[in-house]
A and B are shown apart, each in its own frame.
Chain A
Amino acid sequence: MGYFGLKTNLSSSFSISLLSILIALLSWEFLVRVGIIPALFLPPPSHVILALVEMVYSGELWPHLMASLKRIALGLFFGVSLGWITGIFTGILRPFESALGPILACIYPVPKIAILPLLILYLGLGESPKVCVIAIGVFFPIYINTKTGVKNIDEQLLLAARSLCKNKLSLILKVIIPASLPHFLSGLKLSTGISLLLLVTSEMIAANSGIGYMILRAADLMLTTKLIAGIVILSILGLIFSYAIELMGRLLNIK
């Protein structure tokens, strides 16, 4: 039973969601077909799907998708692991936080894409500046959330754990890390959004492959169908990320 005594269960709420997406797509299709919206500005969903299928079969999509995925995977890997470790240590050790906190607080408000030109100067036009800018971008939400998670561990829980566990390392591994995981995961959720944002922007600024590059080129050529197909791919990527994180939370029994 939900609010107002309305009966809802998982399968019915799923079908409501499905229905609402379907209605949105159909009205979009309808508005374009009737001519209220010109197809050149907003192609109907059917055309976008066709374009996507064609891009998959012609093999045009793969190099771009692979290039983007590789950048995101590497960026997330470095950013998340560094942010996680920094978060845990600054959460546990006061001096560590005093030393690193102010520096990180200065870098945090800078829009990370502003660092890209500098990274290109240092690292050249290859993959590394893009990976690097993503890593820097995702570092912060992971670092901040993990630190918050460590600091918010219930004091009684920690005392009880300390009374049973004299070994510091095992306290970190078996209590502090699992107890801070829910915060880490919400940081991870933010990170995936940020990683997509930085991926696309950096690919639009300095790349000759990737989904961002593909979208920009399609716009230059006024190929709106392809442009929207690119956006759809990004949306699907985002959905896959957030689903994967949710699944991770469920596997780790985080509620």
Chain B
Amino acid sequence: MRLIVETISKFFKKNGTRIPALEDISFEVNDNEFVSIVGPSGCGKSTLLKCIAGLIPPDEGVIKFENISDKKRPLSAIVFQELCLFPWRNVTKNISFGLEELGIPKKLRDEKVSSFIEIMKLKGFERFYPMELSGGMRQRVALARAMVIEPELLLMDEPMGSLDAITAQELQLELMDIIAKRKQSVLYVTHSIPEAVFLSDKVIVMSQRPNKIKAIVDIHPPRPRTKSFKTSKEFVDYLDILWGILG
């Protein structure tokens, strides 16, 4: 798989004037690559993600997926920051939603769902409803629901944004391993620079007004990385570079 984003622009109309939300955005995500987009709020990073998910069309430019081996495989699935689980479905049913829509037979569906319940450490909570779960647990369900359909590209919009620091840290480490193990390609939006450096192969830095790409920085150490990377000199150097770019 390879995602190619070519000179995308998106405008919002407000009181007759066109406000650019994205200007001339170009980048690529390759197979088994973890790419993060960082930038201040209002820089258009969430809008960009929605365009790539096919939820809103860009006004200019092209978004295309190349080298698709399995035509039946969905191109993308998205995970948001806020609670976007179905409150009327329990954990199992929430996770299986996307599979139902793909017309996967019940037996295979159950197998896939239970394997993800295992992976996301949700065992024992199968029959719980979202309201009955903690924030961290809900986000685990949301991740499982998106990953279980095995999308070519997993899109995440600040999935740790509403979690406390301890829970976020724990989930980050797990995410690192799961993504690396499954060779899942990811496009990840965050406003946390340390999170972006820790998780990604490539960090796209966006500026606000104009909402453009300022720089793309490669993070070289191979994934999966361990906690110790976060306290290394290398990590701090990367942070310095990124902070420097953001000004």
Contact = CB atoms under 8 A, between A and B. Distances in A.
A254 B86 CA distance: 12
Interface stretch (B73-81, B113-121, B179-187): B73-81
Rank and list the top 3 A-B pairs by shortest CB-CB distance, nearest first.
A164-B98, A160-B84, A163-B78
Interface in B82-111: 82-86, 88, 97-98, 100-101
A160 B78 contact: yes
A98 interface: no
A15 interface: no
Interface residues of B, number: 27
Interface string A222-239: 000000000000000000
Interface string B113-133: 000000000000000010100
Contact of B82 (A156, A167, A175): A156
Given A159-B55, A175-B86, A164 B80 contact: no
B44 to A, nearest CB: 16
Interface of A: 154, 156-157, 159-167, 170, 174-175, 178-179, 181, 252-255
B138 interface: no
Interface of B: 50, 53-55, 76-86, 88, 97-98, 100-101, 129, 131, 142, 145-146, 149, 155
Most buried by A among B80, B142, B149: B80
Nearest to A255: B131
Contacts of B54: 163
B108 to A, nearest CB: 17
Contact of B84 (A159, A166, A181): A159
Contact of B78 (A159, A170, A178, A179): A159
A30 B82 CA distance: 59
A159 B50 contact: yes
Contacts of B80: 156, 159-160
Nearest to A160: B84
Contacts of A164: 77, 97-98, 101, 145-146, 149
Contacts of B100: 174
A166 B82 contact: no
Contacts of B55: 159, 162-163
A166 B76 CA distance: 12
